[in-house]
Structure 1
Amino acid sequence: MHLPNTISLALSLLLAESALAEYHPCVLIGPDVPIPKAVSSTSAFKDGIVSMKKAIDDAISSGVTSYGDMDASSTSFSLEIYSLHEEEPLYTYHYDAPGLADSTDGVKKIDSDSIYRLGSISKLLTVYTFLATVGDVSFNEPITKYIPELAEYAAQHRGDDEIDFIDWDSITIGSLTSQLSGMPAQLAGSPGTDEALKAGFPPGVPLPVYDPVPENITDTNCPNPYGVPCDRAGILGSINFQHPALAPSWGPSYSNTAYSLLAFALETMTNGSFPDLLTAEVIDPLGLKSTYYSNAPLDQGVVPHNAAISQYTVDILSGGPAGGFYSSTNDMRKIGQAILNSTLLSPAQTRRWLKPLTFTANDGALVGAP
């Protein structure tokens, strides 16, 4: 009669003994020694630069890296290391791919003021602009509070099948910043591989083919022929024709459109335009000279092939907060130093921001905002 209790007690003791045997005292969190303030003068740093330079040279000459193959004939890049305690960069490296000399647009020789299109680094600047403008007090509020079109859709479909309809009431501002919204990655009508190749994107990365663009999404809303750049009406009209990728806050699921919605919410909160807020809250206070929401000067750009093939000059409209911004090596250093120095945010706000928010399937990779 008492056998189950006896077994339960034995298992509890066994588990407790196992846990004690595997226990290792944790060290105190934080640095073990004071942070050095003159890094560039240390032998360890100088030796590290030599090793890193060799690794870069080997990757360029072989085309092989630990992260995959690299086409050094057409891939230009810039690298800079900086410290909060030294005004000048600790190390700067620019690589001019041979193909850059044949480009009909942009610079032929890269320097720290040359302007790159940032791609998804734009997401960082979008969240930074949001925090610099209104802080994070709204992070637990639903997006429906700030985008009436989504609130109307949510009211019409409340209680419907969560597989077929996005639960906008459960998607918060904070989840949009951290890939936890469960939204689809792209808009309906985003290009498949064939369309992307015709538009000049490189081969080798298959893109998902979604349902046709709904009839109410016109060329005025989404003027680009392969369906990527959309204005507010185009994005909000398209997103509800898709299925959710995950339930809100279930786990990380990459979404570009989430950052467009974040920008729309900020515009509602401030009654301003996001490009103007980016300028007023980040670009001007930090004295950035080469950072743009759109329409960066072509003659200062790092432009593979030409502007048409690289899509360097395409204005992706309300998709900009996800991947359309431009900046230079010098400006990116100023942005990084400002974030770490809490120049625009309070130290407490910075600490809250620079924390991981969710795990991934890789136990060595976590996701923050973004």
Structure 2
Amino acid sequence: MTYAKYCLPPGYSLPPPIAVQPLLLTAELEHALKSRTWYSKTTIAIKASLGGKLIFHHAHRASHEDAANLYDTKIRIASVTKVFTVLAVLLSRAEIRWEDSITKYIPGLDEAAYADVTIGALAGHTSGLGRFGYTGDLALIPGFSPAQLGLPEVTHTLPGCDAFPGGEVCSRFQVLDMFNDPAYSPTTINTEPLYTNIAFNLLGMALEHVHSKPYEQIIQELIFAPIGMHASSFETPNAIDGILPQAGERWFAAPFGNFNPSGGIWSTPNDMLLFLEALQSHKLLSAAQTRKWLQPSSLLPSLHQLIGAPWEIFRPTDIDVAVPRPINLYAKAGGVAGYSSYAVLVPEYNIALTIHAAGNDATRAVQDMLPLIAKPLISHADEQVRSRVSVNYAGTYRSNDDNKSISLVVDDGPGLLVQSAIMNGVAIIPALAKMQGLDPSNATARLYPTDPDSNGSNKEHWSLLLDRAKDGAARGFAEQECASWNWGDTARYGGQPLDRIVFHMREGKAIGVALVGWRTTVLDRLES
């Protein structure tokens, strides 16, 4: 694998594409979708954009009616709502601090039991709380027989509220009684993550406390209205505006009550794509705040999964890209009986993807569709970005006296290969390799766009990194010999970094380049 040949630095291999050709529904992809057993009986809607430009969409109604208006039809997004709840907390940073105890914001909550449960722990599933609370308790399910699991009859009576969506809604006092009951209190706080719904109920209560408004109004004012998500709400839609169960189908279409912060939003594919694009373009959070939000907060046993707040971060390595490597997908899944969804961001390629399904097999459908759609989307974007970089950055840059030059190409490796670099008559790549204790005779180096804030500006900052190929076992224990995050900014001269390269851009194309440490004037790009 090409991936094994390089120790890639953190960040992007190449700058995200700005606009690409649409990804067409190929015969292969269409067959892959239609061959699934769930396809004919499941209503689905998929939309994807790259840099805010729609590049893929597909919709299908189980009823085989016209699916064109599905993109404006409400479908329950379930636990994707958690992203909105955490975003509302981040937008309330003047009132709610990430490291504060939740007891600061919920009067009456057991201070001894919850003292170490922070806002961040609740958002990142490390609060030590269980999954549901009263909801889903087998003792409250009509017709459940304890004998079928060998359970004894219980004498402790639960209140019967918040038993399931659409049931009797617990009062605030009953909610606090539940959280303060030792049976539901948090255990082993800030350890391995455990998926929890009731943690987000607490976040919703904290938002209500600091804003003195209902949670639903807070989401409307902080997120829906500023972005223009006019079709999104917490009320169950009518049969014209939404996808609702037919007679005999046991879908969770009823209001979620106290569980609204965990999974109560109804939204349309168009609104959800608008939401994801707003996150990409930093309409609500700054670029730095967004990147901080996307950072993982917990590890999982899988090498391909991490947990954020509340992101479910996938790192697949089986996507067909020119340089196989882990690609970070920041996702949030949602699912209740009858409805399932995915919201996905792929920052490296500026991709936003939203997947919705309604039907008895909705969860299986969405799980199947994520790789079916995401993999060709990313492959398509990768082809486009490499083509764009080849046209807009590759080439030879030279000073007027020919004493300074740098030649860049797109090859089969990551970043931009430095084919040659001469500064004041000195070949600097072998010289840098010797200084860093590497063999100068076969030294190679690459440029990487390690400053995302400068991407798309008139001066883009890239970094120069020497290749340190480590194949297979040569990477050492836990790949410790590929600690590329520790190789940047290794040398400065007169305060200026030798690994800083600045492209001077005009209308998206490089017209010159400056090597900061060498104090070069801009080297002009030669016409090809």
Q: What runs of 5+ residues in structure 2 fail to find an aligned partner?
A: 311-528
Which has the larger helix fraction?
A: 1
CA contact (8 A) 2:17 2:51 kept: no
* Change in 2 beyond 3 A, CA 1:95/1:183: same
The SS at the match of 1:281 is helix
Q: Which residue of 2 aligns with 1:143?
A: 102
CA RMSD of aligned residues (A): 3.5
TM-score by length of 1: 0.71
- Cα deviations by residue, 1:249-295 (Å, 9 ceiling, x for unpaired): 11100110000100111111222221111111111111112100224
**1:332 maps to which residue?**
272
SS of 2:178's equivalent? helix
Pairing 1:80-159 to 2, within 5 Å after superposition: 80-86=47-53, 89-98=54-63, 111-134=70-93, 138-150=97-109, 153-154=110-111, 158=112
Pair 1:307–1:282, CA change in 2 (3 A):
farther
User: Which residue does 2:293 correspond to in 1?
Assistant: 353
Q: For the residues of structure 2 that align with 1:231 and 1:108, how far apart are their CA atoms?
A: 41
Within the candidate set 22, 31, 39, 2:12 is matched to: 31
Match of 2:133 in 1: 187
TM-superposition CA deviations, 1:339-359 (whole Å, max 9, x none): 111111111111110111101
Partners of 2:108 and 2:184 in 1: how far apart?
17
Question: 1:350 and 1:231, CA in 2 relative to 1: closer, same or farther beyond 3 A?
Answer: farther
Checking the alignment, whether the CA contact within 8 Å between 2:200 and 2:261 is kept in structure 1 is yes
Instruction: Find out whether 1:77 has 2:44 as its counterpart.
Output: yes
How does 1:36-75 map onto structure 2 within 5 Å? 36-40=17-21, 45-46=23-24, 51-59=28-36, 63=37, 71-75=38-42
Q: Which amino acid aligns with 1:75?
A: T
Structure 1 residues 129 and 137, CA gap change in structure 2 (3 angstroms): closer
Alignment partners' CA distance in 1, 2:132 and 2:91: 27
Give secondary structure in 2 for the equivalent of 1:255: coil
Q: Please tell me whether Structure 1 or Structure 2 has the larger radius of gyration of its CA atoms.
A: 2
Q: Secondary structure at the match of 1:120?
A: helix
Aligned letter for 2:117? I
Aligned to 2:223: 282
Distance 1:130 1:118 in 2: 19
Match of 1:309 in 2: 250
Residue among 230, 245, 260 paired with 1:320: 260
Q: Are the equivalent residues in 2 in contact too, given 1:96–1:110 (CA < 8 A)?
A: no
Identity %, equivalent residues: 24
**Paired residues, what number?**
301
Aligned equivalents of 2:5, 2:67: Cα separation in 1: 56
Which protein has the bigger strand share? 2
Determine whether 1:263 maps to 2:194.
no
Distance in 1 of aligned mates of 2:122 and 2:153:
21
In 2 relative to 1, CA 92–306 (structure 1 residues): closer, same or farther, beyond 3 Å? Answer: farther
Residues 1:28 and 1:137: Cα distance change in structure 2 (over 3 Å): farther
Contact 2:165/2:257 (8 A) holds in 1: no
Conserved 8 A contact 1:178-1:367: yes
**After superposition, where does 1:106-255 map in structure 2 within 5 Å?**
111-134=70-93, 138-150=97-109, 153-154=110-111, 158=112, 167-188=113-134, 190-192=136-138, 195=141, 217=159, 222=162, 229-241=169-181, 242-244=183-185, 246-255=187-196
Instruction: State the distance in 2 between where 1:213 and 1:343 align.
Output: 50
The range that moved more, 326-335 or 236-245, is 236-245
Which residue in 2 is equivalent to 1:14? none
Residue type matched to 1:82 in 2?
S
Amino acid at match of 2:81: S
Residues in 2 aligned to 1:284 and 1:358: alpha-carbon distance in whole angstroms: 32
Residues 196, 366 of structure 1: alpha-carbon distance in 2 compared, 3 angstrom cutoff: farther
